[in-house]
Amino acid sequence: MHRKTILQAKEDLKQKKYSAVELTEAVYQRIDDVESKVQAYIHLTKKQALEQAREADRRLSAAEEAPLLGIPIALKDLICMQETRTTCASQILDQFISPYDATVVKRLKGAGAVIVGKTNMDEFAMGSSTESAWHHPSMNPWNLERVPGGSSGGSAAAVAANECIGALGSDTGGSIRQPANFSGVTGLKPTYGRVSRFGLIAFASSLDQIGPMTKTVADSALLMNVISGKDPLDSTSADVERPDFMKSLERSVSGLKMGIPKEYFTSGIDPEVERSVQEAIKTLESLGMEKVEVSLPHLEYAVATYYVIACAEASTNLSRYDGVKYGYRSEKNDNLLDMYMNTREEGFGEEVKRRIMLGTFVLSSGYYDAYYLKGQKVRTLIKQDFENAFQESDVIVAPNAPITAFKLKERVNDPLKMYLSDIYTISANLAGIPGMSVPCGISKSDGMPIGVQLMSKHFDEESLIAVGHRFQQATDHHLRQPPL
């Protein structure tokens, strides 16, 4: 049962092949079997989950209809759920109990989902490997000596290891797409504003976006139907019409133009990764898509621009963690200033402190114009590059990362090398456009998954879903299971 996709489990529950309680217990049995190796979760919510499953069975027996009725879903641990620990994988929030549900959680519960637990992540979503988590790192189910990616590495690992039927992650600079790529699952970053951020603990408010991490594109479409849409509690939530994303699965992709950005295929990309992505492009051509070359000339500035803007916003957002109202408080205090300083010194990990200091520096007097203001101007140029590219193409096709999943501890002491892991995903966040990672191969040299990245215009997730689904119908990469 734990290997089912959302759509398969939904159909089985409808036909009463098994109950929601049996499905939930099967997922927890799988967690018992493999979690000690994968470490995908920070904490489980088994008591609440079984109550939700029993309620789902009651509704199913009454022939009620709901999109996710009885389906076990995992949440990245920066999404608030009422009466549940929400830690951001940080000591500073380790015992924080959320007093309310995030909007996406309300929508999941309203759709009948069973919330299995909270998945591991890089601390405050700052990282590309899920190694900066305060509790423990997560391991890649394909090779336990390698990282699952980050910062949504726990969600990616849980889906890949069949420790849930689907999951939610968040993407600030690639944190859904890169771990989906490394872990061999499907990950969709929606357009900025498509999904409410109310109840998402912020890293960088102009970049963060919640999205689905699933076994198939079709499952992502179903989750998007549930979690997307305008939310009056989030002022950045876009007031745009929400389509039925499931209808996109029926669309033909014949005649669509796919833009191939030459800047993504340069020196530094692993030959296995390039070969798999080029084979994916050929498959899309065989489905009737037309290949055109496009250019994103400011891509080389994306990493620097991102780390200026994201760290500046993190510096501001994380200033609220001071030991006064909630969260961790240092006990080594002679006065108020000591309490502030010691709480933040002890409560935050090294990577978070590094980014707070970077952000405070670029916002400081005398440096604001030189760094932060200039970063915002370059961000506009990157956005314009995509707008120009989409005048010639419907979907941009590119790699997600220049390499496959690297080994644990390989980059943890080299921040610059770690930051470059996101070189191919960051630009979509700066532009605010949607992006998706779809499995497209396995490296012959190390046996690790490879994904192809699809990007489209603002609020055109439908094209991504149509192309990704047709690709999965034509290939079997997404069906492969890790040798766990």
Torsion-angle region of 179 (φ positive above 0: left; ψ -120 to 50: alpha; else: beta):
alpha
State the number of CA atoms in the 13 A half-sphere of 224 facing the CB.
34
Residue where the block lists tokens 């309203």: 110
What gap in Å lies between CA 273 and CA 160, rounded to an integer?
19
Token reading at 266: 């340069």
pLDDT band per the 50, 70, 90 thresholds, residue 204:
very high
pLDDT band per the 50, 70, 90 thresholds, residue 420:
confident
**Domain assignments of the chain as residue spans, ordered by start:** 6-256+468-479
Token reading at 161: 């290891």
Determine which one of 128, 138, 151, 155 is catalytic: 151
Residue pLDDT, tens place only, 37-88: 999 999 999 999 999 999 999 999 999 999 999 999 999 999 999 999 999 9
pLDDT at position 12, please? Answer: 98
- Calculate mean pLDDT across residues 333-355: 95
pLDDT band per the 50, 70, 90 thresholds, residue 277:
very high
Residue where the block lists tokens 């089912």: 4
The helix (H) or strand (E) run that includes residue 159 is helix 153-160
Which residues does 222 contact at the CB level (< 8 Å), separation at least 6?
6, 7, 10, 67, 68, 245, 246
Determine which one of 4, 10, 19, 76 is catalytic: 76
Of 86, 70, 92, 94, the closest CA to residue 12 belongs to: 70
State the number of CA atoms in the 13 A half-sphere of 482 facing the CB.
30
- The answer to whether residues 355 and 204 touch, using CB atoms and an 8 Å cutoff, is no
In the beta sheet, which residues pair with residue 395?
258, 456
User: What's the predicted TM-score (pTM) here?
Assistant: 0.97
The region of weakest confidence among 102-116, 157-171, 211-225, 403-417 is 403-417
pLDDT band per the 50, 70, 90 thresholds, residue 263:
very high
Determine which one of 175, 196, 228, 237 is catalytic: 175
pLDDT at 412 over 90: no
Q: Is 151 a catalytic residue?
A: yes
What gap in Å lies between CA 470 and CA 462, rounded to an integer?
12
Residue pLDDT, tens place only, 97-120: 999 999 999 999 999 999 999 999
- Calculate mean pLDDT across residues 171-193: 98
pLDDT at position 415, please? Answer: 84
pLDDT band per the 50, 70, 90 thresholds, residue 89:
very high
% helix / strand / coil in the chain, to the nearest 5?
45, 15, 40
pLDDT at position 419, please? Answer: 86
What percentage of the chain reaches a pLDDT higher than 90?
95
pLDDT at position 253, please? Answer: 98
- Calculate mean pLDDT across residues 307-315: 97
Of 175, 208, 214, 204, the closest CA to residue 194 belongs to: 208
DSSP character at residue 143? B
Q: What is the DSSP string of 194-214?
A: TB--TTBPPS-TTT--EEEEE
pLDDT at position 290, please? Answer: 98
Q: What is the DSSP string of 270-333?
A: -HHHHHHHHHHHHHHHHTT-EEEEE--TTGGGHHHHHHHHHHHHHHHHGGG-SSSSSS---S--
pLDDT band per the 50, 70, 90 thresholds, residue 421:
confident
Which residues does 99 contact at the CB level (< 8 Å), separation at least 6?
82, 83
pLDDT at position 267, please? Answer: 81
pLDDT at position 332, please? Answer: 85
pLDDT at 243 over 90: yes
Say how far residue 124 (Cα) sits from the centre of its chain.
13
The amino acid at 38: V
pLDDT at position 392, please? Answer: 97
347-356 as b/e: b if 16+ CB within 10 A = bbbebbbebb
- Calculate mean pLDDT across residues 246-270: 95
Which residues does 317 contact at the CB level (< 8 Å), separation at least 6?
202, 203, 204, 205
Token reading at 430: 């700066």
The pLDDT mean for the chain works out to: 96
Q: What sign for the dihedral angle of Cα 237, 239, 244, 248?
A: negative
- The CA R_g of the chain, rounded to the nearest whole Å, is 21
* Number of neighbours of residue 119 by Cβ within 10 angstroms: 32
Q: Is 76 a catalytic residue?
A: yes
pLDDT at position 417, please? Answer: 84
For domain 6-256+468-479, the CATH class is alpha beta
pLDDT at 281 over 90: yes
pLDDT at 413 over 90: no
User: Does the N-terminal peptide bond of residue 364 adopt cis geometry, omega within 30 degrees of 0?
Assistant: no
Residue pLDDT, tens place only, 362-373: 999 889 999 999
pLDDT band per the 50, 70, 90 thresholds, residue 271:
very high
pLDDT at position 291, please? Answer: 97
pLDDT band per the 50, 70, 90 thresholds, residue 414:
confident
* Number of neighbours of residue 413 by Cβ within 10 angstroms: 9
pLDDT at 172 over 90: yes
pLDDT at 247 over 90: yes
Q: What is the DSSP string of 84-100?
A: SB--TT-GGGTT-B-SS
Q: Is 286 a catalytic residue?
A: no
pLDDT at position 268, please? Answer: 85
pLDDT at 477 over 90: yes
What gap in Å lies between CA 122 and CA 133, rounded to an integer?
5
Token reading at 215: 């076994």
